[in-house]
Every structure is written in structure tokens, then in C-alpha cells.
Chains A and B, each alone.
Chain A
Amino acid sequence: MNELINELKLKVIDALNLEGMTPEDIDDNAPLFGDQGLGLDSIDVLELIVLLEKNYGIRLATPQEGKEVFKSIAVMAEYVAANRKK
């Protein structure tokens, strides 16, 4: 799981152009959206949906589903581990 968490952090940093950030800067359990944590927005949710499909073959139908999955890197990693198709 730790390996997947680290992999996800790297992919999120790259996909969302989080300039200057390293995996160490992202707390596994910190919220990705909202004013705390990474402060990501609605376009970032959509880009993360693409990230899941591209890398793990997971298709989310709506941004609302995404908001659940993208609560934190730890939640995201659990979801990916349980649902990945590649």
C-alpha cells in the first residue's frame, strides 16, 4: 500500500502541475480539496478522474463520485487497490 500511495502522490503532482511539491509534502490523510490540504478545485477533480482511467482502468461516471474517492491520498489508494483493472 505504501508503494501505491507514493506512486499516486507522484502521479497527482504531475497531473495537477503541483509545482515544487514532493510526495513528502503531501500528508496521506490530509483532505485534497477545500481550504486545508492541497486546495484542489473542480477542474482538478476532473483531471484526477482522467488519471484513474488512464493508469488504472477505473471509470468514474460523475465528479460527485470523484469527491468521495479523492478525499485523501490514503482513501484514493484504497479505492485504486480494490478497483484497479490494470
Chain B
Amino acid sequence: MKHVTIPSGADLSALYRQLAGDYPKFFKMDVLSKLGFLLTEMLVADEPDRFRPREDRAVLVFSREGCVANDRHYAATLADFPSPALFVYTLPNIVTGEIAIRNKYEGETSAYVLEKYDEKRLWALVKEAFQDRITQSAVVAWIDCLSDTAWQAEAWLVTREEILK
């Protein structure tokens, strides 16, 4: 299975220009969504028909911190004018939506929060997601954002055969 990572503290804008460059909404995203977006670009850039709408691919994103880093940004606007553009990113699953929108993935999307990175549990949950009879492949990611500059970010592109073998 294909596996990619983004080192903690990497220049995400530079990476975006290198990998995509045609999706200005990127700059509106919180760091969790930016990482999910870029990891997926790295996984699927060379797939044929990559923007054809498909229901058979799931997006499963795992973390410990969820969107707490962005929660703090939004909370900082509460004292005067709460920012709707920050508020919409105060949900751990928005990253899965951003990946789905970019790539037209109409399948299952899900955000899971675990107490720590636990390979065995993560892959058990991925395997369970394949109980959906339509799902044939999945973008799986562990993206744990401690702040806007410190994170763990890795992702895999997996198929039903690889997971259920």
C-alpha cells in the first residue's frame, strides 16, 4: 500500500504550490485540513480519472487532538467578533470533508479520535469500515496537530483486498 508523510513544521504553502497550485480554498483551511489535503494529493496525484466522482472510496482520518489547535484560534475571536470562517473548522471531521470535496469522493467519511497512535487499533477500525459493501478503497490518515507548526502526519491508500487479506 502507498504510504506518505509530511514532516512536522514543513512549509505547507510551498508544498501546496508544488503539489496542487490550482485550489485557492487551500488557504482558508485550518492546519489539520491542509495536512489532509496535501497527504491525499501525494497519494492520488497520478491516479487515472482522479476527479471522477466515486462512492467506492472512504476517507478515514485518525488523531488524538482532533481540531483542538483550531479550536484555540476560534476561541481567541470570541471576545469581540466570532469568526464564522474559523468556526467551521472546529470539527474534527472537516478535514475528511475537504478531502472528499477536492477529490469528489462521495463514499464514507469518518473522523476517529484515539488516546494515542496505536497501529493495531487503527487498522482494526479501518478493517471494520470495509464492512460497508460499496467501499473498495480508502484514504487512511493519522494527523495529529498539536499546533500550527507541530504535528504528526502520515497517510495510506489502501484497497479492500489489502485490508481483508
Q: Do most interface residues of chain B lie in helix, strand or loop, or is the interface mixed?
A: helix
For A16, the chain B residues whose CB sits under 8 A away are 28, 85
Q: Quick one: which of A17, A50, A53, A54 contacts B28, CB cutoff 8 A? A: A17
Looking at the assembled complex, report how far the CB atom of A36 sits from the nearest CB atom of chain B, in whole angstroms.
15
Q: Quick one: which of B27, B80, B84 contacts A17, CB cutoff 8 A? A: B27
For B44, the chain A residues whose CB sits under 8 A away are none
Stretch at the interface among A3-11, A26-34, A40-48, A69-77: A40-48
- A18 CB-CB contact with B under 8 Å: yes
For B81, the chain A residues whose CB sits under 8 A away are 50, 53-54
For A35, the chain B residues whose CB sits under 8 A away are none
- A19 CB-CB contact with B under 8 Å: yes
Minimum-distance CB pairs A-B, first 8: A19-B27, A46-B84, A17-B27, A47-B85, A54-B81, A17-B28, A50-B81, A43-B85
25 A-B residue pairings within 8 Å (CB atoms) = A15-B85, A16-B28, A16-B85, A17-B28, A17-B85, A18-B24, A18-B27, A19-B13, A19-B24, A19-B26, A19-B27, A43-B28, A43-B84, A44-B85, A46-B84, A46-B85, A47-B83, A47-B84, A47-B85, A50-B81, A50-B82, A50-B83, A50-B84, A53-B81, A54-B80
Smallest CB gap from A46: residue in B: B84
B: which residues have CB within 8 A of A? 13, 24, 26-28, 80-85, 88
Smallest CB gap from A63: residue in B: B84
A: which residues have CB within 8 A of B? 15-19, 43-44, 46-47, 50, 53-54
Looking at the assembled complex, report how far the CB atom of A40 sits from the nearest CB atom of chain B, in whole angstroms.
10
For A15, the chain B residues whose CB sits under 8 A away are 85
Most buried by B among A16, A17, A44: A17
For A47, the chain B residues whose CB sits under 8 A away are 83-85
- Bound together, the chains give a CA A15 to CA B81 distance in angstroms of 12
Looking at the assembled complex, report how far the CB atom of A58 sits from the nearest CB atom of chain B, in whole angstroms.
12
Most buried by B among A15, A18, A47: A47
Apart from A15-B85, A17-B85, A53-B81, 20 more pairs, CB < 8 Å: A16-B28, A16-B85, A17-B28, A18-B24, A18-B27, A19-B24, A19-B26, A19-B27, A43-B28, A43-B85, A43-B88, A44-B85, A46-B84, A47-B83, A47-B84, A47-B85, A50-B82, A50-B84, A54-B80, A54-B81
